[in-house]
Amino acid sequence: MNIQPLLEKYSAPVPRYTSYPTAPHFHSGIDCGKYARWLSMLGKGDRLSLYLHIPYCDRLCWFCACHTKHTLRYDPIATYLLAIHREIETIGSLVSRESRVTAVHFGGGSPTMLKPEDMEALMAKLRSSFTFADDVEISVEMDPNDLDEARYDGLAAIGMTRASLGIQDFDPKVQQSINRIQTFEQTRAVVEAMRARGVRSVNCDLLYGLPHQTLETLENTVRQVLSLDPDRLALFGYAHVPWMKKHQTMIDEATLPDLSGRFQQMQHAASLLTQAGYEPIGIDHFARPQDSMAKAAANGTLRRNFQGYTVDAAEALIGFGASSIGQLPQGYVQNTAATGEYQRMVEEGGLAVQRGIALSEEDRARASMIESIMCRFSVSFAALRKAFPAVAGTLIGEARDFAAGNPDRLCFIADDALVLTEAGKPFARVVAAVFDSYLATGKARHSIAV
């Protein structure tokens, strides 16, 4: 099949759908007071997932689209951690101690910049403020350039269960073009050190669509990564959004692959991973068949949140730190992104929510459809009717109309469900956008769909 016409037709920018409604539609009508009420309404048996955002790096990678800032001094980080401790205390006092924390994720930025004693103190504060499940999953995003023996020991001391390593590409020319120098030897040393300390799961993040990247450089990187025997891999397309992240202007756009080149890179890398025995998960993840994510994909329990694909089934995701996002049954909340303002708000009131959105029944139904498309490439109409009887008819009608009116056969109707075709799966974000009632009303700019 000639994919080029589809690439040209469906390459328009759309959201990545790690939430619905997406973050550009959050508004200031959701504040700290509303957030405090939502937290107090969590049930005694609810499961909690905690996300801690460390928005500092000791180098600025030009490809990065995260909320982070460059610093070579530790003082700003130490001050920031005081505010995180205060926010943890506040939220811990609002949530029932009969709720159980089942997952903790440290993201950034570079969480591994933290001194070992500060990382251990942060985990101690969490454990003293919340009730942890015995089998809690603790994952940390790691930069090999930050790590030493003391930090390895500190990560082991907090009970880390999953190491997540950003790799991008091991080719020196590609690394220089994105200001991310990280050798294979460094990366292998991190994996070996963490496994020696009992960390049972390793995740590696790769990127395609980078400057100077070719099928050959990407294949070399994939084969090197496979030699590390990771349990999971993510294969993300580089999102070039210089209007939002000014440091991306340091990347020469003339060195980026074109749309067809990006797609070929994605297909080639995915083929190498599946040939090596990894199960494809959604649009951009891969896992060993025995991994919990592969099992979740197989049994239909795979989820999607702000960290991407996940097996996390918690009723609430609570975010700590500047720019972090929380997801509760009532809706979404997001802290202010500026670290100084975040610290001021926490010092004055214990919370730092700047915006969010409350969910209507229709929002929840559309979110369920979009998540199902992204996770399972299908939508069960029976499940939709059972969960959302008041609005299911309208949404099912939209699905039938789209399937009937789409000349490219991205999806079809079968067995009372919307099902994406093999040709349609690479365009899952495009199909999901069909059911996004907010998209046409927003002014946000997104990365290309493939």
pLDDT at position 447 is 64
Report how far apart, in Å, the C-alpha atoms of 329 and of each of 278, 342, 384 are: 34, 24, 18
Q: What is the pTM of this model?
A: 0.94
- Residue type, position 225, single letter: V
Q: Nearest Cα to 193, choosing from 220, 165, 212?
A: 165
Per-residue pLDDT of 208-265, as tens digits, reads 999 999 999 999 999 999 999 999 999 999 888 887 778 888 889 999 999 999 999 9
pLDDT at position 156 is 97
Residues near 198 by beta carbon (within 8 Å), at least 6 away in sequence:
156
Cα angle 217, 218, 222; round to 5: 120
14, 446 contact by CB (below 8 A):
yes
pLDDT at position 445 is 57
Q: Give the integer Cα–Cα distance in Å for 305 and 310.
A: 7
- Residue type, position 436, single letter: D
**What does the H/E/C string look like for the chain?**
CCCHHHHHHCCCCCCCCCCCCCHHHCECCCCHHHHHHHHHCCCCCCEEEEEEEECEECCCCCCCCCCCEECCCCHHHHHHHHHHHHHHHHHHHHCCCCCEEEEEEEEECCHHHCCHHHHHHHHHHHHHHCEEEEEEEEEEEECHHHCCHHHHHHHHHCCCCEEEEEEECCCHHHHHHHCCCCCHHHHHHHHHHHHHCCCCEEEEEEEECCCCCCHHHHHHHHHHHHCCCCCEEEEEECCCCCCCCHHHHHCCHHHCCCHHHHHHHHHHHHHHHHHCCCEEECCCEEECCCCHHHHHHHHCCCEEECCEEECCCCCEEEEECCCCEEEECCEEEEECCCHHHHHHHHHHHCCCEEEEEECCHHHHHHHHHHHHHHHHCEEEHHHHHHHCCCCHHHHHHHHHHHHHHCCCCCEEECCCEEEECCCCHHHHHHHHHCCCCCHHHCCCCCCCCC
Torsion angle (degrees, nearest 10) of CA 421, 422, 423, 428: 70
pLDDT at position 341 is 98
- Residue type, position 392, single letter: A
Q: Give the integer Cα–Cα distance in Å for 389 and 151.
A: 52
- Residue type, position 191, single letter: V
Per-residue pLDDT of the chain (450 residues), as tens digits, is 578 889 988 988 899 999 999 999 999 999 999 999 999 999 888 999 999 999 999 888 877 877 788 888 999 999 999 999 999 999 999 999 999 999 999 999 999 999 999 999 999 999 999 999 999 999 999 999 999 999 999 999 999 999 999 999 999 999 999 989 999 999 999 999 999 999 989 999 999 999 999 999 999 999 999 999 999 999 999 888 887 778 888 889 999 999 999 999 999 999 999 999 999 999 999 999 999 999 999 999 999 999 899 999 999 999 999 999 999 999 999 999 999 999 999 999 999 999 999 999 999 999 999 999 999 999 999 999 999 999 999 999 999 999 999 999 999 999 999 999 999 999 999 999 999 999 988 766 566 657
Phi/psi for 104 (5° steps) reads: -135, 130
Per-residue pLDDT of 59-91, as tens digits, reads 888 778 777 888 889 999 999 999 999 999 999
Q: Give the integer Cα–Cα distance in Å for 42 and 376.
A: 28
Domains of the chain with bracketed CATH:
14-325 (3.80.30.20), 360-437 (1.10.10.920)
- Residue 414 CA neighbour count, 13 Å, CB half: 7
In angstroms, how far apart are the furthest CA atoms of the chain? 60
Extract the tokens encoding 395: 């949404």
- Residue type, position 274, single letter: T
pLDDT at position 16 is 93
